């Protein structure tokens, strides 16, 4: 079952902040975040493990709430280069077998 | 260091034709995956492999077959292509240790008429 991402799409002006949420109905082992620019391959951002871990990549950070089976991606002071579709992926059984959400399309405008 | 290479990049097939998509990785990764990506559906796992000679079904395996005869290569086959298989196909690989990222190829855009 695919994790649910929200919102489906968001438009930001440069410098604004955004939060993308990822929820699963099943117990999770870890949560992966990827970004895909139009016409390109998905690119890894970070992996979060159980325990409420928070990680960062550039000005992008994320948290994982194990009890709620939810992860959130935080984009602060957005830049034009942040535009793309963000996918969360949940892993519950090993072998790095990830089930991806349907994505959140983020557009940053000047 | 090429990473993950997919061939071909584009292909148009007629219904009923067969073809094989090739994925090659030069990172000595044990795990390899095939995904399809359709508008609004995200990435869905077709088949995956946890080592040379092994394959397993993912979420949407029907109509596809795979083989992993060599560690560095993972082939995806369509025996009798159908219009519903029109999609962008991505291959990925990862190390066989916990919590590793997947490295994706540039994708193959496949259209079936």
Q: Which of A8-22, A52-66, B76-90 has the lowest mean pLDDT?
A: A52-66
Cis, peptide link before residue A66, omega less than 30° from 0: no
Contacts of B42 in chain A (CB under 8 A): 2, 87, 100-103
CA distance B97 to chain A (A): 8
The CA-atom distances, in angstroms, between B75 and each of B13, B25, B48, B78 are: 17, 12, 10, 10
Contacts of B55 (CB under 8 A, 6+ apart): B47, B48, B49, B66, B67, B68
The per-residue pLDDT for range B82-105, each reduced to its tens digit, is 999 999 999 999 998 777 899 999
The per-residue pLDDT for range A28-53, each reduced to its tens digit, is 778 999 999 999 999 999 988 876 56
pLDDT at B1 over 90: no
Contact B94 A96 (CB under 8 A): yes
> What's the whole-number average pLDDT of chain A?
88
Phi, psi of B14 (to 5 degrees): -95, 150
The residue length of chain B stands at 113
**Most confident of the ranges A18-27, A93-102, B48-57:** B48-57
Residues B54 and B67: their CA atoms lie apart, in Å, by: 8
Contact B101 A44 (CB under 8 A): yes
Contacts of A49 in chain B (CB under 8 A): 99
CA distance B70 to chain A (A): 19
In chain B, the residue whose alpha carbon lies closest to the alpha carbon of A103 is B42
H/E segment holding residue B87 = strand B87-94
Contact A41 B99 (CB under 8 A): no
Res B99: pLDDT: 79
- For chain A, what percent of residues have pLDDT higher than 70? 89
């Amino acid at each position: 079952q695919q994790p649910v991402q929200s919102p489906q799409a968001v438009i930001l002006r440069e410098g604004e902040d955004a939060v993308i949420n990822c929820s699963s109905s099943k117990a999770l082992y870890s949560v992966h975040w990827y970004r895909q620019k139009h016409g390109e391959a998905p690119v890894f951002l970070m992996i979060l493990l159980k325990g409420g871990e928070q990680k960062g990549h550039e000005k992008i950070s994320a948290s994982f709430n194990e009890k709620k089976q939810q992860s959130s991606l935080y984009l602060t002071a957005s830049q034009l280069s942040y535009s793309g579709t963000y996918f969360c992926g949940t892993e519950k059984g090993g072998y790095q077998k990830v089930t991806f959400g349907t994505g959140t399309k983020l557009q940053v405008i000047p | 260091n090429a990473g993950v290479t997919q061939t071909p990049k584009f292909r148009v097939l007629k219904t009923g034709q067969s073809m094989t998509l090739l994925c090659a990785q030069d990172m000595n990764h044990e795990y390899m995956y095939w995904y399809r990506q359709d508008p609004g559906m995200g990435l869905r796992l077709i088949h995956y492999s946890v080592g040379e000679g092994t394959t397993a079904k993912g979420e949407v395996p029907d109509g596809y077959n795979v083989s992993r005869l060599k560690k560095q290569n993972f082939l995806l086959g369509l025996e009798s292509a159908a219009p519903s298989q029109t999609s962008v196909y991505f291959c990925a690989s990862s190390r066989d240790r916990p919590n590793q990222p997947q490295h994706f190829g540039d994708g193959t855009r496949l259209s079936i008429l």
